[in-house]
Amino acid sequence: MLSLDHYYTIFNMKDLQVFINNILDIFITKKSLPKDVMNDFIAYFYITLDKEIKSNKSELLKNKYIKIRKNGLIYIIANKEAILANIRKKKVSK
């Protein structure tokens, strides 16, 4: 599982892009339709952060992970085509 501890201070878009790219590196799906792939990725992103939120006792870290999750989902929806292209490229290279 990806350790998210060093990402709790994401404040700018470039850091958010790096974070999402790291999630993309470990994301795997068997789906082939773009809509299904994107839904799987959004669910994976959400669940990954939700586990971190639930496992942390610090309210400060929980709030930061909630912020990362919210901003990340907004970013993913806004950049859906680029993310799908990255997923396709990763599948082809395997």
Q: What is the DSSP string of 20-59?
A: HHHHHHH------SHHHHHHHHHHHHHHHHHHHHHH---H
Tokens of 35: 């809509």
Q: What is the pLDDT of residue 58?
A: 93
Query: How many whole angstroms separate alpha carbon 70 and alpha carbon 49?
Result: 10
Provide the residue type at 64 as one letter.
K
Which domain does 76 fall in, by range?
5-93
CA angle 83, 74, 16 (to 5 degrees): 65
Q: What is the pLDDT of residue 1?
A: 46
Provide the domain count of the chain: 1
Q: What is the pLDDT of residue 8?
A: 43
Model confidence pLDDT, tens digit, residues 55-84 = 999 999 899 889 889 999 999 999 999 999
